[in-house]
Chain A
């Protein structure tokens, strides 16, 4: 039963701490404008060549046009394919993308394990005594779970250890890598290896569905030594990730949306105007010390 509770706790911690990080960034004071073109939400060609509404005559009298699709497409390219890395540093992209694609596949695998568990709980077994179920839906879930889980895990293993080794042996990379950054990559690798060891005894991931069933029915999970070790390592990783810079899934959102792509104009009666008014009216409780900021105290004036 302890394992069931631990798994729940680690999932809640992962989501909770990630959200808390996002909340911390979201509640930071409004920053000075610092956008960087091209801004993909600028409509049409402007989003590509780096133009903006500033090019329109009397733009302040015109309705503001924002291309949400342009922004979403760019965001998807970056999220799904790490486009910037692909374009600007292909060698590194192969390794980094292996790791990230592996993580996405394992995400899919987790969802499918849950689906499979629900099916089995509602009387549609994925496997029978003869092998994989003859039902189309059940066998699809079974095989896609198998493929996403195995390919995902192998990719994550390859990605994490190759990035680790590159950091060790590439002269430039090693100069800038901190002990924690080595640790992070190795931690991921260790978790996947422990998972691959469990998997080798049950390639169909039936143990995965059993765990899901245990979680859904809130009942104890049957686990031997290897599986227990894997669950604990994975749980600790889930709790650890959002506390480190591996939570860049949070940071990247703010870096692009709130800084590089945020060129909202300060128009009269707009929401932005209100935000800026609020920001300007804030009276800081502390200040910097240079003479041009904090002049030496003036001689007392005569009061009349």
Chain B
């Protein structure tokens, strides 16, 4: 479907948007053969997950209901969650920023240029920062405004059906909350915040949140105290491995400082980096050592594992994670 508008979120179509004009990658990935693999979504996903937005699945707990009744229940749950978002009982912590960003957007479109998701997708309309926000506004204006002429006049002109909500559950995760859009907004509004508020409805009301954030993220952290399960010993082993790895690749023997008293810089990485992308902490070590900086890592839990996954999608989880620390 070309030329997509926010209202189209509720229109039946197998896939609202096809991503075709991805931005060229920066060097060295712009050379032939260097481009990383880009796996196409599997056909079988269609029956299980929500592929009707852009074909991709970012939220594997957003599962396609089996019956019409279940679909309707999902829409209802979403609307209840939306009401909770706008209530000063259930959304005390974010009501004020939510209301401001919800109410005052002038649709000046300044934020689009700042959004890397929008730009890198080849400016696919559904990734425009105000697209998601406007879908949310339309749903809320219709739901709270009664759906009559007056709410249509105010912009509440969207079908609130299963497909709208289902797609929105994916669209809420096409933003990495970088808040670059907010930095350019002449009114100080924040489309990242609105994306997060939408995630809250799905997570806090409907129990739907991507596993890496919820089950293997905040839940694991609350249970074991660490989002990665890395103990102090395992962390120290990992540092040793990094040193060897750097030596093998570069021929240089670095001693990565840990718990160095009085160092100028305490460097903290996201714990996941050590597990999934050890080359990142390694790159930091090389640069810092070559620059001659007085720095250190810390082997205390808070020093190597201080991520709060709740911040990405769920207030209850982010609060609990702070308490654990």
Contact = CB atoms under 8 A, between A and B. Distances in A.
A245 to B, nearest CB: 5
B104 A25 contact: no
B5 interface: yes
B90 A34 contact: no
A108 B235 CA distance: 66
Given A34-B193, A259-B188, A293 B316 contact: yes
Nearest to B105: A245
Given A82-B186, A176-B6, A29 B107 contact: no
Given A29-B92, A254-B96, A259-B188, A89 B182 contact: no
A231 to B, nearest CB: 26
B183 A36 contact: yes
Interface in B201-215: 203-207, 214
Given A88-B114, A288-B316, A258 B96 contact: yes
Contacts of B125: 175
User: What is the predominant secondary structure among interface residues of chain A facing chain B?
Assistant: helix
Interface stretch (A115-123, A203-211, A279-287): A279-287
Nearest to A178: B155
B25 to A, nearest CB: 25
B317 A292 contact: yes
Contacts of B3: 171
A87 B179 CA distance: 17
Contacts of B153: 178-180, 183
Given A25-B99, A255-B187, A292-B317, A85 B108 contact: yes
B196 to A, nearest CB: 10
B94 A31 contact: yes
Interface string B75-104: 001001100100111101111110111011
B205 A288 contact: yes
B234 interface: no
B106 interface: yes
Given A84-B110, A89-B110, A251-B187, A289 B205 contact: yes
Given A36-B179, A78-B186, A248-B106, A292 B93 contact: no
Nearest to A177: B107
A251 B109 contact: no
Given A88-B113, A293-B316, A285 B81 contact: no
B198 interface: no
A32 B94 contact: yes
Contact of A25 (B77, B89, B100, B109): B100
A92 B154 CA distance: 23
A188 to B, nearest CB: 14
A145 B114 CA distance: 41
Nearest to A282: B92
Contacts of B97: 31, 34, 255, 259
B119 interface: no
Interface of B: 3, 5-6, 77, 80-81, 84, 87-90, 92-97, 99-101, 103-110, 112-114, 125, 128, 130, 134, 152-155, 157, 179, 182-190, 193, 203-207, 214, 219, 315-317
10 contacts: A31-B92, A31-B94, A84-B110, A176-B130, A254-B100, A255-B101, A255-B187, A259-B96, A260-B182, A293-B204
Given A34-B193, A290-B204, 17 more contacts: A29-B88, A29-B95, A31-B93, A31-B94, A36-B183, A36-B190, A167-B107, A172-B128, A175-B125, A176-B130, A252-B188, A256-B188, A284-B89, A286-B89, A286-B90, A287-B90, A293-B316
